[in-house]
Amino acid sequence: MTFEYLKALHIIFVVTWFAGLFYIVRLFIYQTEAMERPEAEQKILKPQLDMMASRLWYIITWPSAVLTLIFGTLVLSQRMGYLEMGFMHAKLAFVFLLYCYHGWCHKLFKELQAGRTRWTSTQLRIWNEASTLLLFAIVFLIVLKSTLSMVWGLAGLITLGVTLMLAIRLYKKFRN
């Protein structure tokens, strides 16, 4: 029974972590676009967006990332045999990349809180899709439990990535 509770908590915190990752980059886009506005608008928008980003990042996203790691480790400790399977190595590699993504988002968060931006809103929209690709890879690997299926999964990820990039370009044209 303990395993099911640990797994349920792990899944819940994965969901809240991804919710935070998806929304924080959206806030980065808004913060970047707000810095391009006239100064009077910036004075209104920037403090509000900074506060929203800070609360999301420190109250939801970071705690969820930590709790995901804790409960994921506990779940894996209950199923040590999974560590001998190729799909788990691949899944853990993608999870590692997700934590790298989280770290890079933290760097972006700190820069934007300081009023600095190096990325355009279009670049941030593309960056936002990296977490989507990682989500697909992780979920398919853990559900299918097969690296052989990863060949088809990789083809699907590439197709998804191309589709997302085309959608971003189409959205940019529509927006302008």
* pLDDT in single tens digits along all 176 residues of the chain: 699 999 999 999 999 999 999 999 999 999 999 999 999 999 999 999 999 999 999 999 999 999 999 999 999 999 888 888 888 898 999 999 999 999 999 999 999 999 999 999 989 998 998 998 899 889 888 888 876 666 677 677 788 878 888 888 888 788 77
Helix, strand, coil shares of the chain, percent, nearest 5, are 90, 0, 10
CA distance 71 to 61: 15
Provide the sign of the torsion angle of the four alpha carbons 74, 78, 84, 85, taken in this order. negative
| pTM of the predicted structure, to 2 decimals | 0.85
CA distance 113 to 85: 42
Please tell me the predicted confidence (pLDDT) of residue 147: 63
| Burial category of 138 from C-beta neighbours within 10 Å (exposed 0-12, middle 13-18, buried 19 and up) | buried
- Residue whose pair of structure tokens reads 């931006």 in the numeric block: 117
Please tell me the predicted confidence (pLDDT) of residue 136: 85
CA distance 143 to 77: 18
CA distance 30 to 35: 9
Please tell me the predicted confidence (pLDDT) of residue 151: 66
Binding positions for heme are 10, 91
- Sorted by sequence, the CB contacts under 8 Å of residue 161 that are 6+ apart come out as 129, 133
Please tell me the predicted confidence (pLDDT) of residue 165: 81
Please tell me the predicted confidence (pLDDT) of residue 169: 82
| Domain that includes residue 61, residue range | 2-175
Q: What is the DSSP string of 124-155?
A: HHHHHHHHHHHHHHHHHHHHH--SSHHHHHHH
Please tell me the predicted confidence (pLDDT) of residue 172: 79
CA–CA distance from 86 to each of 53, 75, 83, 107, 148 (Å)?
37, 17, 8, 32, 9
Output the six-digit token pair for 33.
């676009």
Binding positions are 10, 91
Count of structural domains within the chain: 1
